Amino acid sequence: MHIHILGICGTFMGGIAAIAKQAGYRVTGCDANVYPPMSTQLEAQGIELIEGFGVEQLELKPDVFVIGNVVSRGNPLMEEILNRGLTYVSGPQWLAQNILRDRWVLGVAGTHGKTTTTSMLAWILEYAGLNPGFLIGGVPQNFGISARLTDMPFFVIEADEYDTAFFDKRSKFVHYHPRTAILNNLEFDHADIFPDLAAIETQFHHLVRTVPGNGLVVCNGREESLQRVIQRGCWTPVEKFGSADSWNIDADNSVTLRGETQGSLHWDLLGEHNRMNALAALAAARHAGVPIAQGLAALAEFKNVKRRMEMRGVANGITVYDDFAHHPTAIDTTVAGLRHKVGGARILAVLEPRSNTMKLGVMKDALPGSLKNADRVFCYGANLGWDAAAALVPLGNKATVTDDLDELIAAIAAEARPGDHVLVMSNGGFGGIHEKLLRRLAE
């Protein structure tokens, strides 16, 4: 069977392509921007890539077109697919119908930490010999790949609340029908598609409605939003984490379950958010049959996902990190985690607000507070619908804002001195700032 994927170079759709190829499908695809690393990863797997969305691709005559959510009405190839009445389906629906059916799906949902927690859970199952398949929105360093298919029943998936496709505005995760569902946290995000937090809570409740009675919902016990989701109706056992009466962990990384000590977590990851991620992964893995002690042993060998406090290099005694943080809560916890690690050393926070929510300015008033633990703040203010300099006024002369990337790099380099830690935060490539900055600092 031949599938042709529109929007193949995104992490999610690229993962579907890899899994489909492993499952024996003929896979081709197209995208507006076909370039490394995704293009080389896909081509190495024998997947033919086409630049752009030209209607001539209809001559490939695939059995079905799989549509990514970057594709909208007006796309020339999509318009011709519709005009000719050809068969098409969204990526999540295709995955659910052709790969996830009859598997034990473990889905990880939440505003923050999905990629990290999904990677932890997949690694725990791997360490326990369960050889899971997985689809993750990043590259877990224990595996070196973002997606794989195995012949074992377990499949771990990052369950995203973003919409499915232009013709299906439900969240992606409603398609996955997990037997084990993690609800990691829930805040307002994705202001481009959700009007308010209540709208996202409704989507999370749709997910809860799909979990079977013999399944498990692993839920953050500290989040009022998630308690509201559960209270709307739940037909599945719930295990809470982060609460004294269920799964908990203290500052010394001692893990308890209903007040009884289960062991300690020995690892190098930073921050309370990662301790909570670990609890969620341990609880979900236990539901799949992995003893807690074995889960803790696995996490002791867990290597974080790329772009999660990833050290990119050291130049003249100045350490440069890359992190995916882009929501104020994630920025706050990321800076706080680094502060815990480096103590009194200076932290220079470098921010590119480029997510759709950030570009709309919905979270701009929360930015100064999220950067309170940084000694200096540098913000790239280009392509925003709001004034970043005005938003960061509460930080006073601690903040520097510019719309020019070269100016930003020069300002950081002029400020940095040996012993400093430069934390770069963006959910995009940020113009290759990490390598450019390291070269500049080395000079």
Asked whether residue 201 falls in the same domain as residue 255, the answer is: yes
Indicate which CATH number applies to the domain containing 291.
3.40.1190.10
The answer on 278 and 335 residing in a single domain is no
Residue 272: the pLDDT is 83
Separation of alpha carbons 125 and 137, rounded Å: 18
**Amino acid letter, residue 215:** G
13 and 113 belong to one structural domain:
no
Question: Which of these three, 241, 270, 299, is where a domain ends?
Answer: 299
Does residue 305 lie within any of the structural domains? no
In a domain, 96, yes or no: no
In a domain, 39, yes or no: yes
User: Which phi and psi angles does 111 have, rounded to 5°?
Assistant: -65, -40
Question: Is residue 256 domain-resident?
Answer: yes
> Which domain CATH number covers 328?
3.90.190.20
Residues 257 and 137 in one domain: yes
185, 57: one domain: no
- Domain residues for the domain of 199 are 102-299
Work out how many domains the chain is built from and give that number: 3
Same domain? 271 vs 419: no
Q: Each residue of 290-315: pLDDT tens digit?
A: 999 999 999 999 987 767 778 888 98
Check whether residue 155 and residue 262 sit in a common domain. yes
Question: Within a domain: residue 241?
Answer: yes
Same domain assignment for residues 161 and 43: no
pTM for the full predicted model? 0.81
- For residue 125, the model assigns a pLDDT of 98
Whether the Cβ atoms of residue 15 and residue 47 lie closer than 8 Å to each other: no
Q: How far is CA 285 from the centre of its chain?
A: 19
Sign (positive/negative) of CA torsion 347, 321, 264, 135?
Answer: positive
Q: Quick one: pLDDT at residue 91?
A: 97
Shared-domain flag, residues 106 and 64: no
pLDDT confidence of residue 141 = 84
Copy the structure tokens of residue 221: 């016990």
Kindly state whether residue 277 falls inside one of the protein's structural domains. yes
Task: Tell me the residue ranges of DSSP E strands in 268-364.
Answer: 310-315, 318-323, 347-351
Same domain for 314 and 291? no
CATH number of the structural domain spanning residue 82: 3.40.50.720
Q: Identify whether residues 289 and 233 lie together within a single domain.
A: yes
Q: Is residue 244 part of a domain?
A: yes
Low-confidence ranges of the chain (pLDDT < 70): 35-37, 190-191, 306, 356-357, 359
Shared domain check, 261 and 112: yes
SS (H, E, C) 385-438: CCCHHHHCHHHHHHEEEECCHHHHHHHHHHHCCCCCEEEEECCCCHHHHHHHHH
Pick the last residue of a domain from 89, 119, 146. Answer: 89
pLDDT single digits (tens) 220-237: 999 999 999 999 999 999
Rounded-to-integer distance, Cα 349 and Cα 321, Å: 10
Among 89, 122, 150, the domain boundary falls at: 89
Beta strands in 161-232 (DSSP E): 163-165, 168-171, 180-183, 216-220
95 in any annotated domain: no
Residue 197: predicted pLDDT: 87
95 phi and psi angles, rounded to 5 deg: -60, -45
